[in-house]
Amino acid sequence: MEVLEVEVLVIGFGKAGKTIAMKRAAAGDKVALVEQSPAMYGGTCVNIACVPTKHLLTSAAKGLAFLQAKENRNTFIAKVNAANKQMAEGKGVLVVDGFAQFTASHTVQVGAELSITGKTVIINTGAVSGITPHGKVHDSTSIQQLATTPEKLAIVGAGPIGLEFATMFNQFGSEVTVYNGMPTFLPNFDPEVAQAVHEHLTSQGIKIVNQMVDDFESLDADAVLLAIGRKPAVADLNLAAAGIAYTDKGIEVDDHCRTNVPGVYAVGDVTGAPQFTYISYDDHRVVLSDRWGDGSYTRKGRIFPTTTFLNPPLSTIGMTEAAARATHEVEIRQANIADMAIVPRPKIVGNPAGLAKFILDAHTNQILGATLFCIDSQELINTVAVAMTNQIPAQILGDGIYTHPATSEIFNALLA
């Protein structure tokens, strides 16, 4: 068996892992990055999640047929996949194909012929679907490769993945029914936001049913998407051999992404963290700070936005109104997008749907939470995140000078 010793061993080609690998290789370290499948160079986001689904959404909005959109998606993703490997190797990273299994605290075996030991080990294996596609039942990966456009599509789960695919396939021409499985729709949002989203989706022809589904095969549909979550990818890593503590929620880490084994870190989805690429990217900063910096940058207290890619997108950050009222005296700034006379861009592009809501501390003018259900919200919510993280008062955003016409003028309309 070939034995390889490196300064940094990264398991998994996800956002945090590949970024650490490239930065440390560029700094002169000997770095090996193990990826179980060449189809996943770059990680989940690049190959089967964020990027390809947004490519399909864009094609659907343009009116392309699903099969053409799928072909375009696959061509694009193949290029991005190859580019990720080229970037890593271009920085001096040794990319190793194969499945890594721990044999000791800092050593993995890859296949039958290679053993790799790293002074620093980064576990970045992500999350996987708990569904095995079969018959007409699909997960979020297999649904992207259907052989035909389903006349009827049933989606079990009304979270971000389910609603994104509902929007997508509705625009591809499928008759879409979403089975919520909960007594209320979007329970983590304020009621008026959930109602606005519900009304908008149903106005587009998407049917939403608040009921549990046990027998997926019996649903009246040509295809069924089970959008009921993903789980940390820890199976078969043989973490016990390394002495690494984990549960069914993922590998246990502290605020520095450190496992219980010195020199071994876990980052991103595999730790049970919120399953977003940008959270994984932030984890890479945490590890660099702890292992090669002063340790001052941690996971603690981070504020981050989320977006569900409907049409228009639904973005949020911070507290709901109910949560804020439990601890603060609040001021609400809210309006329908169509009613904001000084925000013409949504009307210009033909999509004035939605609403904007800001929850402010009545005494400090700090933003406690915000929901933007409107075009460009996936961009605007990042500005709100910067303001909240840096304790910039809402008035500052309200007094900003923004290009015109721009959806950013929502800040002028509601926060001045």
Please check whether residue 161 is in contact with residue 307, taking contact to mean a CB–CB distance below 8 angstroms. no
Nearest to 121 by CA among 35, 41, 32: 32
- Active-site positions? 404
Please check whether residue 200 is in contact with residue 336, taking contact to mean a CB–CB distance below 8 angstroms. no
* Measured CA angle at 167 (ends 163, 169), to 5 deg: 115
Please check whether residue 138 is in contact with residue 224, taking contact to mean a CB–CB distance below 8 angstroms. yes
Task: For residues 371 and 314, give the distance between their C-alpha atoms in angstroms, rounded to a whole number.
Answer: 7
Report CA Rg, the chain. Answer: 23
Please check whether residue 140 is in contact with residue 49, taking contact to mean a CB–CB distance below 8 angstroms. yes
Please check whether residue 289 is in contact with residue 297, taking contact to mean a CB–CB distance below 8 angstroms. yes
Nearest to 83 by CA among 28, 128, 43: 43
Please check whether residue 234 is in contact with residue 259, taking contact to mean a CB–CB distance below 8 angstroms. no
Q: What is the DSSP string of 202-243?
A: HHTT-EEE----S-GGGSSSSEEEE-S-EEE--TTS-HHHHT
Q: Which helix (H) or strand (E) holds 10?
A: strand 2-11
Please check whether residue 334 is in contact with residue 355, taking contact to mean a CB–CB distance below 8 angstroms. yes
* Measured CA angle at 26 (ends 107, 111), to 5 deg: 30
Parallel, antiparallel, or unpaired for β 175-179 and 152-156?
A: parallel
Task: For residues 99 and 129, give the distance between their C-alpha atoms in angstroms, rounded to a whole number.
Answer: 18
Task: For residues 384 and 397, give the distance between their C-alpha atoms in angstroms, rounded to a whole number.
Answer: 8
Q: Which helix (H) or strand (E) holds 90?
A: helix 66-90
Reading the block at residue 121, the tokens are 């080990």
> Torsion over CA of 89, 19, 107 and 95, rounded to 10 degrees?
-20
Q: Please report the sign of the dihedral spanned by the C-alpha atoms of residue 173, residue 179, residue 185, residue 187.
A: negative
